Amino acid sequence: MPSHKGQHSSENIKREIYAIMRELKDPRISEGFISIVKIDMFKDMSGCKVYVSAMEGLERAKKAVKGLQSASGYIRKEIGSRLRLKYVPTIEFQATDSVEYGVNILKKINSIKAEDKEKTLAQTAEILREMDNIIILTHHYPDGDTLGSAYGLCRALQKLGKKAKVLHSKTIAKKYRFLEEYEEKQEFEPQNVVSVDIADTELLDEEFKEYSNKIDLCIDHHISNKRYAKALLLESDSASTAEIIYKVVCELGVEVDKEIANCIYTGLSTDTGCFKYSNVTPQTHKIAAQLMEHGAEVSKLNKIFFDTKLKEMVELEKMIYEDIRYYFQYRCALVCVTLDMMKKAGVDESELEGIASIPRSIEGIQIGLTIREKADGFHKISVRTVEGLDASKVCKVYGGGGHACTGGCTIKGRLETVKDEILMTVREVYGW
């Protein structure tokens, strides 16, 4: 059984302590609103300090701490086995009257319903064990993470003797098609629906929208997850959904074979730009190392994902570079991909995954904009920024979203109008 030494991030520990608190029958802990304000890990990771507060004030928090201290041996043992830690950090509890508390309690009240849905790793494995005839949904314009996660999970479920299949958009990028061979084709009447790497049902392909209200379990790493599924395993500190899938597969007790390792490596490496992005954590590298031990063909896959370009894409890129525009004293670069250009180059929409990183890769550029014409009269805008500029701020103006340095949205209209519009928004948002 592989170990996950890198997993004891404070978020994981916090989540497990909450879960254990709910299970403990001690009224000092289980009654009222007791919350964990923060967890400070010691520098050498040997232990941590957990700050506890209560809505009723400091005295009540102190009572809760007494209860937690008396159960601390049990809590530590449980955390060790739930997070599969070889070494479990020592845990010290401390009552606090923190001002942050007001914020926490608000969050808690707002998310009571959501919290019920949120599952631990162990609970997720239990839910999957109960399932059969499972379809696994991927998001539209499927990328390596949604596909790698889906096929890895599918194969693991099939190895458990269950029927499962992956659903994806009609066309997927050539470089990911090998994944399809890892699935044993099975016919069945769907009973359960699982979604992977999908923050919002809006991101489902039109043909799968019928499943929007029927998703039993969602496994995801987007902090913006809309909590649409009946059960949710969300680890927003994971660089990829594939990393979470790896833990789920281990939790299920399925032996990770070469194929599963390849699937997970696909998601993990592509969502981190081959371990280059700031989302990479020690966990990412540790899981990658374990995948290598399980036979993942990393150099072969890296060549396919990061060192190979379709001839058609080279043609398209020639056109893109030809027409690159700069704005705001070379702080912003903008490229456009029209349907006409794609047709000329012979490129299918599914191959455009890496295009959005082109403008930001130019020296000195702080924001890279990519405008992509779609067949329905909309333009898809991808925003990439350098650290310090929040990309999602621009996208939110148009109902889109994103992380700190990447974002996306769609705008209806003619290309020239859309271009002016987005540039004006950039000017307003960043005060340029």
Binding site for Mn ion (CB under 5 A): 145, 197, 241, 271
Q: If DSSP codes are grouped into helix, strand and coil, which group holds residue 314?
A: helix
Q: How far is the CB of 376 from Mn ion (least distance, A)?
A: 25
Q: How many CB atoms lie within 10 A of CB 87?
A: 11
Instruction: Give the C-alpha separation, 186 to 165, whole Å.
Output: 7
Q: State the minimum distance, in angstroms, from the CB of residue 220 to Mn ion.
A: 8
SS3 214: helix
What residues contact residue 15 under an 8 Å CB cut-off, 6+ apart? Answer: 120
When the beta carbons of 132 and 237 are compared against Mn ion, the nearer one is 237
Pairing of strands 34-41, 134-137: unpaired
Residue 32 or 273 with smaller CB distance to Mn ion: 273
Shortest distance in whole angstroms from residue 352 CB to Mn ion: 17
CB 221 within 8 A of CB 270: no
In this complex, which beta carbon is closest to Mn ion, that of residue 89 or of residue 267? 267
Distance of CA 227 to the CA centre of its chain: 13
Q: Smallest distance from the beta carbon of 270 to Mn ion, in angstroms?
A: 9
Residue number with CB closer to Mn ion (80 or 273): 273
CB of 101 or CB of 151, closer to Mn ion: 151
Residue number, nearest CB to Mn ion: 145
- Cα–Cα separations (whole angstroms), residue 4 to 85, 87, 194, 282: 6, 10, 24, 11
Structure tokens that stand for 198 in this block: 């999908």
Q: Please report how close the Cβ of residue 224 comes to Mn ion at its closest, in angstroms.
A: 12
Sheet with 134-137, strands from edge to edge, namely 164-167, 134-137, 192-196, 217-220, 231-234
> Six-digit token pair at 169?
């958009």
Shortest distance, position 194 Cβ to Mn ion, whole Å: 15
Comparing CB distances to Mn ion, the nearer of 195 and 241 is: 241
Residues in contact with 388: Cβ distance below 8 Å, sequence separation at least 6, in sequence order: none
Residues 6+ apart with CB under 8 A from 407: 382, 383, 385, 391, 392, 394, 395, 400, 401
**CA gap 325, 320 in Å, rounded:** 10
CB of 187 to Mn ion, least distance (A): 29
> Is 271 or 317 the residue whose CB approaches Mn ion more closely?
271
Q: Which is nearer to Mn ion, 235 or 317 (CB)?
A: 235
| Contact by Cβ (8 Å): 272, 287 | no
- In angstroms, give the least distance from the CB of 197 to Mn ion: 4
